[in-house]
Amino acid sequence: MVKVERPEGVNVIIGQAHFIKTVEDLYEALATSCPTAKFGLAFCESSGPCLVRVDGNDESLKEAAAKAAMEIGAGHVFVVMLREVYPINVLNAVKAVQEVCTVFCASANPLEVVVAETSQGRGVLGVIDGFKPRGVEGVSEVEERKALLRKLGYKR
């Protein structure tokens, strides 16, 4: 298991893709879907030199994404660190990148990546996103949820 560390207030998207072109295509998808977003992305190349390929428009987020990708260390996994944007604003663009096979999570919660290792390498089995439920929402929690969505501008 790998605990994903990130700067305060940063959202993370973790997924798997299949080609070195992923780095440039994810950059374009993020930059064009929300031009004010600050981001760093890292992609674990799984053949040839097997490097972590890095890009983005914010140096600290590039460093954080590269560190998380190295710690996860699984072939073709990518990590995107986001600031000044929510994943909901870029997630469809990320999923539409031709090389993207799956998205494991998009979250601001504490994250743990469950990794399996064989003699060949490592793979992601899943992601633990946040904490387990403490109960079922009641009337006041429904009102709070609806108010928050409207405050953030996602509902009218």
Domain CATH number, residue 35: 3.40.1520.10
Which pLDDT band, with edges at 50, 70 and 90, does 57 fall under?
Answer: very high
| Domain-embedded: residue 74 | yes
Query: Domain limits at 146?
Result: 2-151
What does the alpha-carbon distance between residue 145 and residue 156 come to, in Å, rounded to a whole number? Answer: 13
| Domain-embedded: residue 127 | yes
| Cβ neighbours, 10 Å, residue 81 | 27
Distance of CA 88 to the CA centre of its chain: 11
| Domain-embedded: residue 156 | no
pTM over the 0.85 mark: yes
Question: For residues 60 and 6, is the Cβ–Cβ distance under 8 A?
Answer: no
Condensed to tens digits (0 to 9), the pLDDT of residues 88-132 reads: 999 999 999 999 999 999 999 999 999 999 999 999 999 999 999
What does the alpha-carbon distance between residue 21 and residue 139 come to, in Å, rounded to a whole number? Answer: 48
The predicted pLDDT at position 142 comes to 95
49: pLDDT strictly greater than 90: yes
| Domain-embedded: residue 129 | yes
- Based on the structure, what is the number of domains in the chain? 1
Output the 3-class SS for the chain. CEEECCCCCCEEEEEECCCCCHHHHHHHHHHHHCCCCEEEEEEECCCCCCCEEEEECCHHHHHHHHHHHHHHCCCCEEEEEEECCCHHHCHHHHHHCCCCCEEEEEECCCEEEEEEECCCCEEEEEEEECCCCCCCCCHHHHHHHHHHHHHCCCCC
Q: To the nearest whole percent, how much of the chain has pLDDT over 90?
A: 96
Token readout for 44 is: 């674990």
The predicted pLDDT at position 73 comes to 97
| Domain-embedded: residue 8 | yes
